Amino acid sequence: MALTFDDGPYPPYTQKLLKVLAEKHVHATFFMVGENAAKHPDLVREVQSAGHLVALHAGYHKDLLKLSPDEVRSNIAYGKSTLEGITGTQLHFMRPPHGFKDWSVISAIEDAGLLTTNWSIIPRDWTNPGAQVITDRVLEKAEPGAIVLLHDGDSPKNKAPREQTIEAVAAIIDKLRAQGYEFVTIEELAKENH
């Protein structure tokens, strides 16, 4: 199962989440927004050096379906070049903002050399329904190979707290591990499925 986190990097929540993941010895995938990464490059490197996979969410957190084809391509290009410049590694995965996509968005993502990656479990943690609710929603839908959509960030406003998500992540890991689940990055999951 893969835990994925969208909309970061977003201090102090990304750092708090990294601490929990380190304590639990879990590697996750962070779908980052280029604009946020440009503001917090050290945090991007911290995520990477902790062994997590850095992936692209977008250059700017906008609904790609509402942009022209050129705007979509430049948004993706900006995000990709920003993150690759900070990490020094090539990106392979992208999740469009809100998961909104059509054939032209998918082809723009593919043209940038990236694989479109959505999710199979969506506990709606960004609404801050409570850590227990977030945990229960993930446990109800858990299955081998699942991709869980969570948020360490709050793009584009960067205002909402993410304490509930961080608290829920610790419980999700403990409870699912007790059921025999292992946690992997999107990249590792892709390799297992091929």
Closest CA to 25 of 184, 171, 157: 184
In this structure, what token pair is assigned to residue 150?
């969570």
Token digits of residue 100: 């909104």
Concerning whether 136 is annotated as a catalytic residue, the answer is no
Write out the two tokens for 1: 């199962």
Q: Which of 6, 7, 125, 152 is catalytic?
A: 6
* Structure-block tokens of residue 11: 């201090």
CA distance 154 to 169: 17
7 is catalytic: no
**Residues facing residue 93 across a β-bridge:** 115
Least Cα distance to 52 among 93, 12, 80, 11 occurs for: 93
Annotated catalytic residue, options 125, 151, 152, 154: 151
* CA neighbor of 23 nearest in space, from 153, 179, 170: 170
What backbone torsions phi and psi does residue 147 show, to the nearest 5 degrees? -120, 120
* Residues labelled catalytic: 6, 151
